Every structure is written in C-alpha cells, then in structure tokens.
Structure 1
Amino acid sequence: MSTMSAVGRVALREMRTRFTAKATIISTVILMVLIIGAIVALSIITSRPATSLEVGVAGETAELSASLEQAATSQSSSLDLHTGLSAEEGRRQVLGGEIEAFISGDPTAPQVAFDGDPDQTIMELVSAAVRSHALAEAISAAGGDPKQVLAQAATAAPTTVNLSAEQAVADLNPIQIITTLATISLLLFALIQSASMVAVGVVEEKSSRVVEILLATIRPIQLLTGKVIGVGVVALSQVVAMIAAALITAKATGVLDGFEFDLGGAIGMLALWFLLGFAIYVVLVGGLAALVSRQEDIGAVTTPMVFGMMIPFYLGIYLVPNAPDSLATRVLSQVPFFSPFMMPVRTATGVVETWEVLLSVALCLLFIPFLMWIGGRVYGRAVLNTGGRMKLSAALKG
C-alpha cells in the first residue's frame, strides 16, 4: 500500500468517526448557538434608540434655549426642550415624570429643578450653556459680535504630535482589531479541540490494541499523519460552520452595517494560520499522547502543549496591539510557535511589511517537517508500549 493511499484511508476513517460523534455535533451546535446569541444581543444593544433628554424652560429663561441646544449638539446629546413653561407648570411636569428637569430664573444663574438627585448629563449641558450665554452677553456689552467670537472659539483647538515611532492603540482600526482577536480566539479553540481529539484517539487505539492491527499493514508515521489530517478537516469544518453562522447572523441583524474592513482577508488569514498552527502543534500532541496508555494520564503529557498555545495567544492579545512594531514583537512573531497567534494581529495593525509575513510563513513551513519527524519518532516508538507511562527521552532515543 502506497504512503498516500494509507494516509488517505486513515484520514477518511478518522473523519467518519469524528463527524458522526455526538460530542462533536453537540459541541459545534452549542458554540454556534452561543455565537448567534452574542451577535443578536449586540445588535439589540447597538440598535436601541438614543433617549432624548426632556427638559423644561421657563419663559424668563428662554434666552438660554439656543445655548442649551448648542451645548447638546457639541456633546452629542439628544435634547428636547419644552419652552415657555410657568414655574408652577414646570414643577408639576417634573414631579409627574413628563420632563426630567425644569430650568427657571436668570439665564446667567438659573435654577434647575429635579425630582430627586440631579442628572449629571443635564447639569453638564446647563453649565456649558450658561457659560456660553454669559460669554455672549459680555461680548455684546463690549460692542463685539458674539456669533463671530463664539465661532472662532469653537474652532480653536490644539493639535497633537506623536513622537513615538510605535503606533498607538487608539490609532488602530477597532473593527479590524476586534475581528482579528476573534479570529485568533477561534484558532485557539480549534487547536485545543483538535489536540484533544487526536490525543484521545491515540490513547483509545493504544489501550484497545487496535493500533497493533493497524501497524501490521501501515507504518506509524502514516497512521499518525492520517489521524492528524482527518481531525484537521473536522476541526476546520467546525470553524467554517461557526464563521458562517456569525456572518449570516451579522448580515441579518445589520450589526456590521456602516463598518468597513477586509472580511475576506480575515477569513483567508484564519485559514492560513489555522493550517500552519495545526501542523505545528497537533502533530506533537499525537506523539506525546502515545507516551501514556490510560485516558486519565493524557493531561499530564498534553497540558504543557496547551500552555504552549496560551502563551503566544495572550501575547497576541496584549503585547501586539500595544507595541505592534517593537523589537520583541517583531522577533517573536517570526518564531513558528508564536507566529500563528501574533502575526495575524500584527497584520491587522497595518505596521507589518509583506516580506515579514512571507518570512514568517516560510519559517513555519521549514519547521513543520522537523516537528513531524519528532512527533512521528515519538509516536512510532511509544505507541506499542503497553506498560506504564513512557518517558519522552526514552522515546526519542529509542
């Protein structure tokens, strides 16, 4: 039997087993429901209409109305003024809940009435309006044009100069960054899920002695490769299903309307780094899982690999957005174990050069055969060991 044929048969067998497993189906459905629910909840929160501030103004304070509206506009607040109210009517409407506040008295020193504690947003608007009105009055008294002076004052503002060579977090595209962080989170989930599938499958075959029958016809490296490919297809299918559910829900709810980002690029980046990350991490998990013979011992050999995934994941979340072009970030993003999590975030920041991405991918591709050799060596020498846990050094030395 040729190598390709043997690997293909093992991969197909693994896919049939995993696709029909209840655990795979249930976990995928639950995650899709959670993703859909989160997007729907986000759309409900973001689609809520802005609440308008209902404020009453007494007849003697009507001069303040224009300044109040200008202050509301400058602070992006929605304001609905009820003008010309008498003192008695204004207080009645406040106590009856028809308006939130009633402004009366001298426009330069008004009284603001509330039913209970003062609303800070309204007080900020009134304070800004009073200052603006008082300034306009002073300008008029001095013989100037209040509109011209206030217009010049509104446009007077300082400009900032960033002397740092590094891009600030505030300067990044928030949608692009959020999408990328969601992407590497999916990548982490897919890798951990895949590693668990491979590890459990290896130990199950080893403990049931099925592996002895399989190795009578194919080589250990062919069995491990086929198993990794089969599980990889299942994991990638889960990720595709979740992305499809997210995109369909986002399109139906309109949660992404008005935002511009390269969705196709984000999906392509996920596929690229998923395949590279899968080949880097999961093939090693298969070899390490062969060191034990019981399901209870899987965690002892796979936990270090899981922590090995978490470290670059957290660096991708916290280090890269804050220092995307620092020396440490540039160097670590080229290391194969770190690249799948750090390079996508660096790409989203817009500071990475094309040659850096190509170099990172090339280093991963050069490193993968070496990892497959190590994983296959450990698997081949440990999978037939039916005693206690085999030491990694013993499996490597043979």
Structure 2
Amino acid sequence: MSTQRPSAPTPWSTTLLVAEREITTQVRTKSFLVSTAITLGAVLAAIVGGALLGGDDDATRVAVVSQTASVVEQVDGLEPVLVADEDAARSLVADEEVEAAILPDAGVIGLKVLARTSAPADVVAALSVSPPVEVIEPDATSDDLRMLVSLAFGMVFMMSAMGSGSMVAQNTVQEKQTRIVEILLSAVPARSLLAGKILGNSVVAFGQTASIAAVSVIGLVVTGQDDLLGVLGAALVWFVVFFLVGFVLLAAIFAASASLVARLEDVGSVLTPVMMLTMFPYFLVLIFNDNAVVMTVMSYVPFSATVGMPVRLFLGEAMWWEPLLSLVLLAATAFGVILVATRIYTGSLLRMGARVTVRDALRAEV
C-alpha cells in the first residue's frame, strides 16, 4: 500500500491563506464594525441633510385677487393666496398672514405690491423682469460644491488608509513582540506573509471605500439629486480604482516600517513618515482645491493621485487619457515600493530587540 505525500503549498496558496486570516480577524472585531457603521451612517446623513437644507426654498405667501392671480401663478418663489377683493388682501397683510399683497394698478406695469411695514425685497425681486444672460464659459461646479467634494475624497482616503494601514502595522509588531512570527515563518515564507497582509487589508480597505461610494450613490438617488450623481458618478468610480492601487502602495510601506521594531511602544516613531504621506493629500485639497496647477501636479504624484485625479475628473479639468496615465504611474510606483518593502520586511522580521535601520534591513541576508 503506497502513501502519497501531500504536495507542498504554493506561494499563491499561502498568500491567500494569510489574506483570509487578515480579513477574518479584522472584520470580526467590534471596533471595525462599529466604526464602519458610523462612517456609512455619517455619509448618508450628510447627503440627506444637505438635500434637506438645500431644498429649503418654501415659497413666499402673497395675497392676490382674480385680476393678478394668473400673473403670480407663473412666478417661481411666490405662493398666491386668492382673496375676494383689495380690502381682504389688506386685512391679510395687516394680520401678517401673508408677506404682501399683489394688486392691480393703473400704472405702466399694471401691478402694485402692498406691504405692511417695508418693501418686501424677495417679492419685488420675484416680480422683476431680468434680461437673459449668456455665459461664454460656465463653471461646471460652484465653489462650495468644489470644496465639499474635494474634502470628501481627501477625508475618505485619509481615514480608510490610516485605519487599515495602522492595522497592518499593529499586527506586524504584535507578531514580532509575541514571537508568533517565528511559528508563521516555519510554515509560510516571509514574502507570502507580507503579500497576504497587503492583499487581505487591501480587500478590507477597498470594501470600506466601495461601501461608502455605494451609500453615496443610494443617498443621492433617494434624495433626488440625480443631476449631482450624473456629474459625480464617474469620479466616484475612478476614486475607488485609484484607492485600491494607492492603498496597496501604502500598505507595503506600513508593513515594512512596522517590521523594523519589535515593540508596540516603538511603532509610532517608524510610522510618522507614512502617516504624513497619508495625510498630505487631504491638506493639499483643503488648501489648493481651487488651484488648477497644484491639482494637476497632485493628480500625477503617486501618493496624492488617489485624491487629485478624481477631483479633477469631477471638475471636468482632466482629459480622458489623464486618469489612465496617472493610474499607470501609480501602479508602477506601487510595484517598485513593494519590491523595496519586501526586502526590508524579510530582512528585519526576525530581528528582535533594538530598532532595525532601513540600511541594515536592506543589507541583511534572506
């Protein structure tokens, strides 16, 4: 009777095994579930609240008689209250039940406005005839909307990347501090361990970002903001794609940086540079969202392209080929960073005690 030895696991299978462990460990934590629920709820509340505040345009009530009713019905912003005669209209104005009364007049315009204490500017403005205006180069978005969308992209990137990236770093240091990493490396190669961490946490971060995008779309549809969705839809899709590649780059740096120390107390000192890389796109869009030159540069720098390019796409300032070129540059940079991070990770993972320098990690024999 012959026995067949099981085949050795492949690097891909061990990578998937580590990725599955990372995903299940993170999604089962109460803090992750609570923070995700709060984030999605805040996004939906912001969209619904914005729609309610933006739609607070109740018409001004004005008293009208039969001769003026047809005119007022065609004016936006005024709600006609039909009364029998001028005396009834005066009574409603005096009792402050209406803002003003619009009555017939023998003058050139044929109308007069009756008010209680002062001329109602909103009523007069609604009745005024303005000449048609033709704008040669209309702005695609208002300044407020530009700022809001820019900050939203920057905030989502910063919070998701820092949250999942910190989890990568924390797990890496905990495994070294408890020496579990020695057991893991007896069954899984260091490269597969790093690849699994990056893959697993990238899936979690991508899922969070995609969920935020989905909730945003649902909120815009439910609140009837289809016009904004039409402008924002393509930028949202590109943001999710850029985020996936951009987070892979950052996750590799988080893991490599954390592998240099063996205690949780020391992890803050090695994560400062990568934290700055994660935060600076947010601050750039906060300050320079109306600066076309800065936003263009941001959209091609790998560490800020995740925010810069989707914002430019939303504003209609990017040509069709620009996101493709930016994504290629981002992916190429991510590949190069992963190669360097792998060398640092494998060269420092089993070194306990004092903090390992990047130079020593790169020179270590693996």
Provide the TM-score with structure 1 as the length reference. 0.73
Aligned equivalents of 1:56, 1:359: Cα separation in 2: 61
Whether the 8 Å CA contact 2:298–2:309 is kept in 1: the answer is no
Alpha-carbon distance change, 389 to 103 in structure 1, aligned in 2, over 3 angstroms = same
2:34 equivalent to 1:26: yes
Residue identity opposite 1:41 in structure 2: G
Deviations along 1:102-133, whole A, 9 cap, x unmatched?
A: 6899988977324xxx5x7x23534886xx7x
2:272 equivalent to 1:303: yes
Residue identity opposite 1:315 in structure 2: L
Alpha-carbon distance change, 215 to 238 in structure 1, aligned in 2, over 3 angstroms = same
Alpha-carbon distance change, 179 to 237 in structure 1, aligned in 2, over 3 angstroms = same
Alpha-carbon distance change, 111 to 8 in structure 1, aligned in 2, over 3 angstroms = closer
Whether the 8 Å CA contact 2:300–2:329 is kept in 1: the answer is yes
Report percent identity of matched pairs. Answer: 28
The 3-state SS of whatever aligns with 2:301 is coil
**Equivalence map 1:206-355=2 (5 Å):** 206-251=176-221, 253-259=222-228, 261=230, 265-316=234-285, 318-320=287-289, 322-324=290-292, 326=293, 328-355=294-321
Query: What corresponds to 1:195 in structure 2?
Result: 165
Q: What's the offset of the Cα at 1:67?
A: 12
Provide the TM-score with structure 2 as the length reference. 0.79
Residue identity opposite 1:292 in structure 2: V
Query: What corresponds to 2:86 in structure 1?
Result: 85
Whether the 8 Å CA contact 1:42–1:255 is kept in 2: the answer is no
The 3-state SS of whatever aligns with 1:261 is helix
Alpha-carbon distance change, 37 to 329 in structure 1, aligned in 2, over 3 angstroms = closer
Q: What's the offset of the Cα at 1:284?
A: 0.3
Whether the 8 Å CA contact 2:149–2:311 is kept in 1: the answer is no
- More deviation, 98-107/13-22: 98-107
Residue identity opposite 1:34 in structure 2: A
- More deviation, 280-289/14-23: 14-23
The 3-state SS of whatever aligns with 2:115 is strand
The 3-state SS of whatever aligns with 2:351 is coil
Alpha-carbon distance change, 218 to 104 in structure 1, aligned in 2, over 3 angstroms = closer
Deviations along 1:280-313, whole A, 9 cap, x unmatched?
A: 2111011111222332332222232122122223
- More deviation, 384-393/279-288: 384-393
Query: What corresponds to 2:340 in structure 1?
Result: 374
Alpha-carbon distance change, 246 to 171 in structure 1, aligned in 2, over 3 angstroms = closer
Aligned equivalents of 1:265, 1:67: Cα separation in 2: 44
Aligned equivalents of 2:230, 2:125: Cα separation in 1: 40
Residue identity opposite 2:116 in structure 1: A
- More deviation, 347-356/360-369: 347-356
Aligned equivalents of 2:178, 2:160: Cα separation in 1: 27
Whether the 8 Å CA contact 1:290–1:382 is kept in 2: the answer is yes
Among 102, 113, 124, which residue is 2:116 paired with? 113
2:326 equivalent to 1:360: yes
Aligned equivalents of 1:56, 1:302: Cα separation in 2: 67
- The root-mean-square deviation of aligned C-alpha atoms, in Å, is 3.8
Alpha-carbon distance change, 356 to 210 in structure 1, aligned in 2, over 3 angstroms = same
Whether the 8 Å CA contact 1:336–1:363 is kept in 2: the answer is yes
Query: What corresponds to 1:98 in structure 2?
Result: 97
Q: What's the offset of the Cα at 1:262?
A: 6.0
Q: What's the offset of the Cα at 1:7?
A: 1.4
The 3-state SS of whatever aligns with 2:97 is coil
The 3-state SS of whatever aligns with 2:186 is coil
Count of aligned pairs between the two proteins: 350
Whether the 8 Å CA contact 1:176–1:261 is kept in 2: the answer is no
Unpaired runs of 5+ residues, structure 1, are 133-149, 163-167
Aligned equivalents of 2:54, 2:168: Cα separation in 1: 41
